Amino acid sequence: MIELPETIRKAVSDHPYPLVFATVSGAHLYGFASADSDWDIRGAHVLPLEEIAGLSRGEMTIERMHPGPPELDLVTHDAEKFFRLLLKPNGYVLEQLLSPLVVATSPAHQELIHISRACITRQHLRHYVGFAENQWRLFEKENPRRLKPLLYVFRVLLTGVHLLRTGELEANLNRLNDAARLAYVGELIARKCDGSEREQLADDDIARYRAEYERLMQMLLDAGASSPLPEAPAAHAALNDLLLRLRGVRPNA
């Protein structure tokens, strides 16, 4: 379990529904948090059966912002919604589930981690390509351009390449770069960690980073084309069984 400021732990413990898990996402997970980075907490909760079967429905997604300090962005999905996103496939929720920075856990969390291996497919290529393209558009729109969105671009691309080649999820850019050995990535991370969320880039560096974005995007596409991963997830039955047990419809084994 990760050490967190008490205000963040209290916000998680005050969640209105039982949590399957809560983990740290965002810059702290990706390895380039600066002193003023907010805390992104993500997870899954369990709505009681009466809030699913009746006319009054519970909240499938709960979002809570806490101004801090430190700032906290807490988002959790009901287990059904989370499981459907896992099957979609959605790399973002997979990264949340497998985050090593655990705030709250449960036996169901550990079971879900095991089941999630059958959710990892070649179809994750679409997620990481779309995610990277969107992050690059956001980066190019800014004036002046900030370092943080660029780090998100490279993190997404390298995570996707690693996942499609190995079937293993790694979201920390420092560890990804241990294999990629891109000197500029290490330099950018150091600048971000020593600086702030608003750290800016010089205009004359942009062409270099655009070329690297295009090169890494092609690497991601190639990784998808040659990936040994299966075409479709094989976890539907296991997720369905776990959901029914979480709802109390079936007894736990």
Contact 97, 23 (CB under 8 A): yes
Structure-model confidence comparison of residues 54 and 128, the more confident one? 128
- pLDDT tier at 67, thresholds 50, 70, 90: confident
What pLDDT, on the 0 to 100 scale, is given for residue 1? Answer: 66
For residues 69-93, average pLDDT: 95
For residues 227-236, average pLDDT: 98
Q: Per-residue pLDDT for 249 more than 90?
A: no
User: Could you tell me the CA-to-CA distances from 91 to 13, 121, 195, 209 in Å, in that order?
Assistant: 26, 10, 28, 24
Q: Which two tokens stand for residue 108?
A: 């169901």
**Distance (Å, whole) CA 96 – CA 98:** 6
Mean pLDDT of the chain: 94
Structure-model confidence comparison of residues 146 and 252, the more confident one? 146
CB atoms within 10 A of CB 202: 8
Express as a percent the part of the chain with pLDDT over 70.
Answer: 99
- pLDDT tier at 253, thresholds 50, 70, 90: low
In this predicted model, what pLDDT tens digit does every residue of 186-221 receive, in sequence order?
999 999 999 888 889 988 889 999 999 999 999 999
Q: Per-residue pLDDT for 128 more than 90?
A: yes
Q: Per-residue pLDDT for 114 more than 80?
A: yes
What pLDDT, on the 0 to 100 scale, is given for residue 21? Answer: 98
Q: What is the DSSP string of 7-41?
A: HHHHHHHT-SS-EEEEEEEHHHHHT---TTPPEEE
Q: What is the DSSP string of 152-203?
A: HHHHHHHHHHHHHHHS-----HHHHHHHH--HHHHHHHHHHHHS-TT-B--G
Domains observed in the chain: 6-119+233-247 (3.30.460.10), 124-225 (no CATH)
Please classify residue 64 by burial: count the beta carbons closer than 10 Å to its beta carbon, then call 0-12 exposed, 13-18 middle and 19+ buried.
middle
In this predicted model, what pLDDT tens digit does every residue of 14-59 receive, in sequence order?
999 999 999 999 999 999 999 889 999 999 999 999 999 988 889 9
Rg over CA atoms, the chain: 19
